[in-house]
Copies of this chain bind each other. A is one copy, B any other.
């Protein structure tokens, strides 16, 4: 049994968790080391003991924040037994699940792409995102070549998909205010919108 004072690795995990939540909710620039320290229930110097600088601290958690997305989506995309159309729908479901747990994740990523794009690229490489993208690309291209799907430039398919997926979450204040009807809540609208994305992508791919 460990002594009460020394919680080796335990506190580090606590700090990481506090940093993860604070950075995710406020973004890098709006987060101070004090914010994280308060959330972790310790003081700033201890933070610097574990992660020397703010930038290192951020680096330590950024991967795990973005990484929350990957496993769920990965499992679906690699299921080549499922037709690609159905897979696209399942991918949206997976993203939606994660974003409902972490509604601020989409805006967080968009801001980071702007703030420190090199780190985003590095993280994407570590997570092996290229593999998944290639897999989707290949799956779609095969069905396009065999005539099952309409020939659509791959990049515009991706851009359409991610545009429609991200914007309602990234601008939820505005969307909630402008586009949620009376007697309806934001989640109701989001659910309808999900179906709309699927139908839009399907229409693009089949007509």
Oligomer: number of copies: 2
- Nearest B residue (CB) for A164: B163
Query: Complex formed: what's the CA distance from A75 to B18 in Å?
Result: 49
Per-residue interface assignment for chain A, residues 121 to 159, with 1 indicating a CB less than 8 Å from any chain B CB and 0 otherwise: 100000000000000000000000000000001011011
User: Is B155 touching A178 in the complex (CB atoms < 8 A)?
Assistant: yes
- C-alpha gap A23/B135 in the complex (Å): 40
Total contacting residues, chain A, CB less than 8 A: 40
Given the interface pairs A110-B170, A163-B167, the reply to whether A203 lies near B193 with Cβ below 8 Å is no
A-B contacts besides A111-B111, A163-B163, 20 pairs, CB < 8 Å = A27-B29, A107-B110, A107-B114, A110-B170, A110-B171, A113-B171, A113-B173, A117-B173, A117-B177, A155-B178, A156-B192, A156-B193, A156-B196, A159-B168, A159-B175, A159-B193, A162-B167, A163-B167, A203-B207, A207-B207
Taking CB atoms and an 8 Å cut-off, the chain A residues in 61-94 that contact chain B are none
Cβ-based interface call for A174 (8 A): yes
A182 in the interface (beta carbon within 8 A): no
